[in-house]
A and B are shown apart, each in its own frame.
Chain A
Amino acid sequence: MSIQDQQTTDARERLLTELPVTERRLQLAGVSTAVLEGGDGPPIVLLHGPGESAFWWMRVIPELVTTHRVIVPDLPGHGTSEVTNSTLDADSVVTWLGELVEQTCPTPPTLIGHLLGGAIAARFASDRGDRLQRLVLVDALGLGRFRPSARFAFGLLRFLVRPTDRAYHRFLGQCLFDRDGLIEGMGDTWEPFLAYHLDRSRTPSVKTAMRTLMKEVGMPMIPSETLERIPVPTTLIWGRDDRAIRLGVAEDASARYGWPLNVIDDAGDDPKLERPDVFLRTLYTALETPDDGEHGGQR
């Protein structure tokens, strides 16, 4: 193992020690999948965004495990999940998620997806909604055209063409409402968090997987008839200052499909990372809302 690989492994292990979870590897639809699991109760599956890993949920996992069985996979080709025998596209990732649910959830889970994870979650809910209890979409891709702000686009481009520390730091400044506040809030975990994800972003296989999933799943608009078929209660949670997928996309989706929209102030595209306490309160309120029998998006 190279020094760099060891440092990455050390960073990952450091992050794992912070979380009340265990890690196991599952073979799912041709993807060797790293899955974090913890807690007891109704199952809840958390899907992260592009180029990220399960650790992007780390600020809310400790609370969620006190009330739920929490299942957090690294998406195919992300984190330490490896695409071994699969072609990444919308169908294959839905199959992958189906196998994850089947192998980890004794009862239909609540599925929560962020960014790319949101696009995957929405497609899964439409195709296999009978296997879910609820759907929560957090600043999700796929609900409208991707039209980021100019500053976000500049930052993203700079980072994608050359993922340096500086470019990543600046790009996070576009993703987050208060990057420096987040760094302070994460304390000692920030350095290993940053080191781990910067390494992943430079890894060719991770870049390939991220770009492929964005092309196949994240960027295309999900057809309205697909979203209208979602049969389970669906909630939107959005950062008010999301520069990547602007609040207007969520407002339009809420109006069209009848999904309740919860807006979190002082948050960019990742309210769960940036304002975990508010996010958790919002999420619990959504989860506790009684099912009124009128499911999904059709008004």
Chain B
Amino acid sequence: MTEQATIQEAWTEIAPGYDEYVTPSNMALAEAALQRARLRSGMRMLDVAAGSGGLSIPAARAGAQVLATDISPAMVERLEARAREEGLTNLGARVMDGQALDLEDDTFDVAASQFGVMLFPDLPRGLSEMTRVTKPGGRVVLVTMGPPSEVEFLGFFLGAVKTAVPEFTGLPTDPPPLPFQVSDPEILREELADAGLTDIRVETANHRLEFESGTQMWDWVTASNPIGAEMVADLTAEQKAAAQKALDNKLRERSGGSGPAVLNNSVNIGIGTK
């Protein structure tokens, strides 16, 4: 199986859950990121590794002319469905490998990716492609996970799994798993600079998540990216149930027993100019 096929299969497998659980929860953050990037109505925007529209939908709502790309046909189908439901005729979607964009140079006012390109095994190549297709003077935007210690959902999730499975050792740090390869703001800055961008800003923002139950949170984490699914793929049904129960307890403690539990998660918003 080729590398591309492997990645495509992995994302296709989680696409239904991603669309249901993750995409809606990403839109508020996307609005904040696009505002910082000064996206305006009528601008041409590219969303790379778009998933089912967590960034693209808010951009199109704001009046930008959006092209969303994702390696997974299943994700693209879901994104197109969302666009149709909202009547967003200014949003188009294509299946495309973000490391080899089939697009002309110097085309977009903004090229952006939220929790997408950060997952690329060859992130510099993905960034380079985003930069290539951005107009001179245009902006490249990356929204990425912040440091693991500042990502509450991760701590809750791993803690619950550890409760159920004592030998679970948690995330490795070197190399960090792909979702955290640019969690250090300085590393993200360096990557943007290496891609040839200037006037680089890396800002920290809060990605606020609400969870009603351990099961919902479990579904969210394991649908967020293939890495999340891989972490717990070997658990038995009993272990999974025990972990979800532990999550329920943690969330109840956070919420005080009423309403959803709110978890705060640090993210980086990196913006550079071509």
Contacts and interface: CB of A to CB of B under 8 A. Distances in A.
A167 interface: yes
Interface residues of A, number: 25
For chain B, what secondary structure do more than half of its interface residues adopt (helix, strand, loop), or is it mixed? loop
For chain A, what secondary structure do more than half of its interface residues adopt (helix, strand, loop), or is it mixed? helix
A181 interface: no
A151 interface: yes
Given A150-B7, A153-B121, A211 B172 contact: yes
Given A158-B231, A214-B175, A150 B170 contact: no
B151 interface: no
A155 B96 CA distance: 25
Interface residues of B, number: 25
B237 interface: no
B24 interface: no
B234 A149 contact: no
B230 A158 contact: yes
A146 B175 CA distance: 8
Interface in B226-249: 226-227, 230-231, 233-234
A251 to B, nearest CB: 16
Q: Which of A151, A161, A202, A207 has the most CB of B within 10 A?
A: A161
Contact of A162 (B121, B168, B173): B168
A186 interface: no
Contacts of A256: none
Nearest to A152: B121
A161 B10 contact: no
A219 interface: yes
A153 B178 contact: yes
A150 B2 CA distance: 10
Interface string A150-169: 11011011101111101100
A223 B132 CA distance: 28
Contacts of B121: 147-150, 153
A25 interface: no
Contacts of B177: 153, 157
B173 A211 contact: yes
A161 B168 contact: yes
A150 B6 contact: yes
B6 A158 contact: no
A161 B226 contact: no
17 contacts: A149-B3, A149-B6, A149-B121, A151-B3, A151-B6, A154-B227, A156-B172, A157-B172, A157-B227, A158-B230, A158-B231, A158-B233, A161-B171, A162-B167, A163-B169, A166-B234, A215-B174
Interface of A: 146-151, 153-154, 156-158, 160-164, 166-167, 202, 207, 211, 214-215, 218-219
Given A149-B121, A163-B167, A214-B175, 8 more contacts: A146-B175, A150-B7, A150-B121, A151-B3, A153-B121, A157-B172, A167-B234, A202-B167
Shortest 8 CB-CB distances between A and B: which pairs? Answer: A215-B174, A160-B172, A154-B230, A214-B174, A151-B6, A150-B7, A158-B230, A162-B168
